[in-house]
Amino acid sequence: MENDKVILLDFWASMLGLRLRVALAEKEIEYEYKEEDSASNIKSPLLLKMNPIHKKVPVLIHNGKPVCESFIALEYIDEVWKDKAPLLPTDPYERAQARFWADYIDKLYENFGRKIWSTKGEVQEGAKKGLIDSLKLLEQAALGDKLYFGGESFGFADIALIGIYSWFYALEIFGNFSIEAECPKLDAWDKRCKLRESVSKSLPDPHKIYELLLELKKTYGLE
């Protein structure tokens, strides 16, 4: 669309921002990327103005108007730029399934992922088990033998998970476990997604995520 100004306020390591980078790339939407340093505690004036309630990235800013929360921004992108690469199917039941699974996926980091890098001992073991059990359920109930969560097309639920998947390399090191070994179908799905340019060009370097988390552990005395 002409005369459309799109800005993405994001942080290079953000698994939520990654979702928007992938979606914008899938739809070939031109945008200006603005980096927010979420690792420091300083929030930019732009972030405070565009997301005064939560003060978090990512924020999609379309012609000066902010859309916050990654799934809400994904649906917004899908509704405004509807002519290319639909993220959600047209059928209401299929849409409900995609939203249900995206919501399920969204809780994986808060419930388990975070604890895997920031805790030790029993708490960490519990989180590892929780994550693997949840991923196995996703494999079985949501993905099955399909190419993508939505079937033949890459879409909403895939984008939801690919963001979190980018952190798994670091989580596997901290937790000393292999997600690939436990969830081979998901691993194949991940490799399939990475063949898409929208994904491969948007993904952060997994080693840098690991280094970032090491830094955060030091900063917060979590070693």
What residues line the site for another protein (CB under 8 A)?
Answer: 53, 62, 65, 67-69, 72-73, 75-76, 79-80, 92-93, 95-96, 99-100, 103-104, 137, 141
Give 76 or 169: the residue with its C-beta nearer to another protein. 76
- Tell me 113's DSSP state: I
Q: Least distance from C-beta 95 to another protein, angstroms?
A: 7
SS3 83: coil
Question: In DSSP terms, which residues pair with 67 in a beta bridge?
Answer: 60
Give 39 or 96: the residue with its C-beta nearer to another protein. 96
Closest CA to 19 of 56, 55, 80, 60: 60
Give 34 or 62: the residue with its C-beta nearer to another protein. 62
- Exposure string for 110-149, b = 16+ CB within 10 A, e = fewer: eebbebbbbbeeeebeebbebbbebbeebbeebbeeeebb
Question: In DSSP terms, which residues pair with 35 in a beta bridge?
Answer: 10
Q: Least distance from C-beta 66 to another protein, angstroms?
A: 9
Q: Least distance from C-beta 82 to another protein, angstroms?
A: 9
Q: Least distance from C-beta 196 to another protein, angstroms?
A: 25
Give 80 or 214: the residue with its C-beta nearer to another protein. 80
Q: Least distance from C-beta 77 to another protein, angstroms?
A: 9
Q: Least distance from C-beta 103 to another protein, angstroms?
A: 6
Give 98 or 171: the residue with its C-beta nearer to another protein. 98
Q: Which residues contact 18 (CB under 8 A, 6 or more apart)?
A: 162, 163, 166, 202, 203, 204
Hey, what are 170's tokens?
Answer: 């670091």
Please count the other Cβ atoms lying within 10 Å of the Cβ belonging to residue 45. 7
Give 160 or 212: the residue with its C-beta nearer to another protein. 160
Q: In what order do the strands lie in the sheet with 32-35?
A: 32-35, 6-10, 59-62, 65-68
Q: How far apart are CA 115 and CA 81, in angstroms?
A: 37
Q: Least distance from C-beta 99 to another protein, angstroms?
A: 5
Give 91 or 145: the residue with its C-beta nearer to another protein. 91
